[in-house]
Amino acid sequence: MQLADVSRNYDFASRYYDSLTEIVFGWILGLEKLRSRTVDLLGDIEGATVLDLGCGTGRNFSLLTAKVGKHGKIVGVDYSAGMLEKAAQRIRKNNWQNIELIRGDAAQLEGISGPFDAVVAIWVLGIVYDLEAAIVRVTELMRPGGIISILDFGKSRPDRGLLRWLFPLYSMALKCTGIDSAEDLDSAKLEVKWARGKEVLRKRLAYLEEDHYLDGAGLILSGQKLGQTTEEPAMPT
Ligand SMILES: C[S@@+](CC[C@H](N)C(=O)[O-])C[C@H]1O[C@@H](n2cnc3c(N)ncnc32)[C@H](O)[C@@H]1O
């Protein structure tokens, strides 16, 4: 999704994003529980500085604040001012003191200073207009031995199951929300994008673990940046 579309689509969607996510991703698809699995893949992050890339309305913040504790810090980056405003409201409501919000483009991450001990990117990287640039930039900002955990869609059409056959309906419904562009929903393009993205990740990480959900359409990736403090994989192969 091009940057201009991120602002236009997500500024508008910010008004209903949380309710829609709870209904579709939570109740209907049962995917919201994957957030905690993705955050758990970061391992012990108490006291860590964590980058929440494409943080949106801050739906990961309660999990992250609980894990980093009061000595840790979270930096939420997103390009949509509307989504960031909702994230700021969530922070005020919960009186969280250790979250910083920055408006920025995930493919460039200009003016954002690391190093980060951990990075989490939930349902964002697959729609970034330049996935490879985003991966290069984000891994540059990680400290050696830092962990990255990604929850995304590797394809938009599942390999099997009911949703594979309901895909045209699902895709039409998603387009109607005005959030996703036709490009984001093109399964073949998304597969190629992620094949290249994973190649870049493998070059920059000591290891990359991969898992799937939603009948093969969903992608969970985690890895650790090359460096002296690199540890054994946290996830079984
Ligand atoms: C589907 S939402 C996910 C939000 C949040 N991570 C969550 O799990 O609820 C995708 C988010 O990615 C952001 N986004 C898309 N492209 C971006 C880019 N190039 N740079 C920064 N943020 C981007 C959007 O503004 C939106 O908030």
Q: Say if residue 195's pLDDT is above 50.
A: yes
- Amino acid 236: pLDDT: 45
Position 161 confidence tier, pLDDT thresholds 50, 70, 90: confident
Q: With contact defined as beta carbons under 8 Å apart, do 150 and 222 qualify?
A: yes
- Amino acid 34: pLDDT: 96
- Amino acid 231: pLDDT: 55
Structural tokens at position 1 = 């999704």
Virtual torsion, Cα 171, 208, 6, 54, nearest 10 deg: 120
- Amino acid 171: pLDDT: 73
* Averaged confidence pLDDT in the chain: 91
Q: With contact defined as beta carbons under 8 Å apart, do 11 and 80 qualify?
A: yes
3-state secondary structure of 150: strand
Measured from the CB, is residue 150 less than 6 Å from ligand 1? no
User: Where do we find the tokens 């697959």?
Assistant: 126
Measured from the CB, is residue 59 less than 6 Å from ligand 1? yes
> Hey, where are the domains in the chain?
3-224
Phi and psi, residue 48, nearest 5°:
-85, 160
Measured from the CB, is residue 6 less than 6 Å from ligand 1? yes
Measured from the CB, is residue 53 less than 6 Å from ligand 1? no
Give percent of the chain above pLDDT 90: 75
- In angstroms, rounded to a whole number, what is the distance separating the alpha carbons of residues 118 and 138? 10
- Amino acid 237: pLDDT: 40
Quick one: residue 194, left, alpha or beta (phi over 0 = left, psi -120 to 50 = alpha)?
Answer: alpha
Q: Say if residue 179's pLDDT is above 50.
A: yes
Q: Say if residue 230's pLDDT is above 70.
A: no
Choose one of 1, 6, 86, 174 to mutate for the ligand 1 pocket test, by most ligand atoms within 8 angstroms of C-beta: 6
Structural tokens at position 162 = 């009911």
What is the CATH number that goes with domain 3-224? 3.40.50.150
Partners of 76 in the β-ladder:
52, 101
Section 178-191 average pLDDT: 81
Instruction: Specify the DSSP element, H or E, that contains 66.
Output: helix 61-68
Which residue, among 21, 119, 139, 142, has the nearest Cα to 64 in the 3D structure?
119
Q: How distant is the alpha carbon of residue 226 from its chain centre?
A: 21
DSSP annotation of 158: -
The residue whose C-alpha atom lies closest to atom 25 belonging to ligand 1 is 80
pTM of the model: 0.93
131-135, 180-184, 219-223: segment of lowest average pLDDT: 180-184
What's the order of all strands across the beta sheet hosting 116-122? 99-103, 73-78, 49-53, 116-122, 142-153, 218-225, 205-213
